[in-house]
Structure 1
Amino acid sequence: MNNQATTEQEDGLSVARLAELAAACAVPDGGFTVDPVTGVTPRTGFAVSVHPQYEHVTEAPVTPDELAAYLTRHAPILHVEGRAFGGWHNPDTGRVYLDVSIVVPTLAEALDHGCAARQLSVYDLATGACIDVPAPASTAGKEPPAEPTPPIPAPRAERTPPPCPPGNHARTATSRPPNKPPAGGKRTPKNKPDSTPKRSTGGPRKSPTSRRSPKTGSPHSR
């Protein structure tokens, strides 16, 4: 009993009010959105969960004690201005989702928040209807782009030497023509002289002591 009184004082929710919220979640697609301090339900706007990290999933039916434990555990975030305490019974899975919500005035704004937080639906407080959140347009029905294929390099061209101009063909040691001997003679080795000079056999060699006789006659002769 003391624990129940503490919950009522801290959260503003009586035991009877918690029982009403638990009963609302017992119905498939049923739920609630209340002010965590006063326990009052807003009548207009759209409720959407914006804190996926505080989401708690449990099997239906949820009990008033589970609701009280959730309020105590997440009291710091629930006491932030503009936050609401919400619950929803998923008819497809039979599970109950407890979360921290906000209430916005338009459906478009609610769907934007729901898409960013990856929520399945938002809640219309005026009509009591759940509205599905569409999948992001960037990923719905699209396959991830394939990885680009690296280009195949072109085969390397064979290098062809440029043609030699006429009259300028390259010579090799085996293509050099042999030296031709002079016409009418034999080839003479390069390391021998063609011929050995011989001493002239003409007339007698003059003696170094012989001189030509002077002319006869007087220098005054004519």
Structure 2
Amino acid sequence: MVFPSPRRSVLLPALVLIVCAAAAFAEPPNSRQQALAQLASSETTARLEAIVWLANYGGVVDTPRLDALLRDDNALVRDYAERGLWALWSRTGDAALDRLMARGVEEMDAENYRAAIATFSEIVRRKPDFAEGWNKRATVYYLAGEYASSIADCGEVLKRNARHFGALSGLGLIYTQLERYDEALAWYRKALEVNPNMLGVEFNIKSIERRLEEKRGKRT
């Protein structure tokens, strides 16, 4: 499932400009080695520059580095790390598949769900180890109300990326829709264990907990 808007699958140019404006005295990294070194910098702007570089030029191998920054002391760094992870997850490494991904997102945004399902199905057929292809199809299935298929695809995502907080929180959404609240809570909590910055997930947990308390109150 997609936690942020699909259009946030890459870092927006405006965000890069914000970093550059803030980092008046910091040089952006010009290599992966330099970017990795800057992730450990005490300077916030240096860490932001490093995240932007890895999001734009890095690979799946760099996801653990950005994952660790989901617990950074600085809120902006945490936000960039989350966006950077989505960018890395969404990159297929194949220009033709990247174009298919873009087409599928456009179809999903236009609520042309049958076409989007067909597009993402072609992606997972061509590259079955690409977790984000499964995740995008899970999202479309959810939007189309096909919850069993969405659950199955979320499972495929997690086989390939156990720390995919979008799929974890997506399962919470599905089980909420099915009114299987205990299962929804379990998945939401797993999502927060991976990414503690998901305010919407926190809200959903509190909402379900209140609902369950009210039900218990009516029974007594």
Q: Which has the higher helix share?
A: 2
Fold shared, TM-score > 0.5 on shorter chain: no
Q: Which has the higher strand share?
A: 1
* TM-score, normalised by the number of residues in structure 1: 0.22
* TM-score, normalised by the number of residues in structure 2: 0.22
Larger radius of gyration: 1
